[in-house]
Amino acid sequence: MYYGFDMGGSKIALGVYDPQRQLVWSKRIATPRDDYAQLLAALVSLTAEADALTGTGGSVGIGVPGLINPEDGTLFTANVPAARGRALAQDLSARLDREVRIDNDANCFALSEAWDEEFQHYPVVLGLILGTGVGGGLVVEGRPVSGRSGVTGEMGHMRLPLDALSVLGEGVPLPLCGCGKRGCMETLLSGRGFAWLFHHFYQQTLSAEAIAERYAQGDPQARAHTERFRALLAVCLGNLLTLIDPHLVVIGGGLSRFDAIYDGLAEQVQPHLLPVAKPPRFARARHGDAGGMRGAAFLHLK
């Protein structure tokens, strides 16, 4: 059996999956955010409950909102202060007497999608999250790629390509990113960036959801804005796809529910690729909020 923990700032969700990768049981509890001993105790207690339910000692994987230092296993996470600087996987492994694998939640998202029944035949899967920020993960042959410093997939902090200015105009200001820099793709491709761009061009403050509603109603500004955003997304994807050349790009996050961003995306990406390159398949994420649990559980599949 595979146990997957999705550990967030407010809740810990545990999903138990059978050998066919089907969910058989799940439970949520509040996250002990400020006490490391209580956090470990909560994870141990949930694991014991799962063991009692299944009659086995299942494998344990954890998805966390942050980065894991590949050298010593310590975490950098803003949302769970108790775990910051702690070697959570090693400490929990010692208490459970079994291997615990851990990865960031974006990699778990990508891994969950890569093991979807329809998607699992794709060798290289790029997961792209267009939500409050922009993140993602890379899965190759069913395993996540974390990289030298654990930051593979942090696509939101790549710089906007030069061609972005041909889409937006030379005079567009570049908002300050949370990382302290300007020109990060996250500032314009996130849900907040989508709304910010609409305000920049039309001097109206609307949420991404409200803009999508206006698009559905045929509003010309919302239509023009969405076409511009899709062109910007295609430009930014051009660099990523040239570097990674995935077979499949799975898009998650709030903007993934806006069908219009997929319309003609492959055709718009093509001019930004090498002449011999083919666009990948673009698909909406299938597993929503369950992706963190699924991906964490599936850290043990290979």
Residues marked as binding for Zn(2+)?
A: 157, 177, 179, 184
The answer to whether 133 touches 194, Cβ cutoff 8 Å, is no
Cα of first residue to Cα of last residue in the chain, in angstroms, is 14
Query: Annotated binding site for ATP, which residues?
Result: 4-11, 133-140
**Which neighbouring-strand residues pair with 283?**
250
The answer to whether 169 touches 212, Cβ cutoff 8 Å, is no
**Which neighbouring-strand residues pair with 115?**
none
Tell me which residue of 26, 100, 19, 21 sits closest to 56, measured CA to CA. Answer: 19
The answer to whether 272 touches 237, Cβ cutoff 8 Å, is yes
| Strand, coil or helix: 164 | helix
Distance, CA of 123 to CA of 247 (rounded, Å): 7
Q: Residues near 45 by Cβ (< 8 Å), separated by ≥ 6? A: none
Query: Annotated binding site, which residues?
Result: 4-11, 133-140, 157, 177, 179, 184
Sign of the C-alpha dihedral computed for residues 284, 136, 253 and 74 taken in this order: positive
The answer to whether 3 touches 14, Cβ cutoff 8 Å, is yes
Distance, CA of 32 to CA of 174 (rounded, Å): 37
**CA separation, residue 125 to residues 45, 112, 185, 205, 292 (Å):** 34, 11, 20, 35, 16
Tell me which residue of 93, 114, 115 sits closest to 102, measured CA to CA. Answer: 93
**Which neighbouring-strand residues pair with 5?**
14, 62
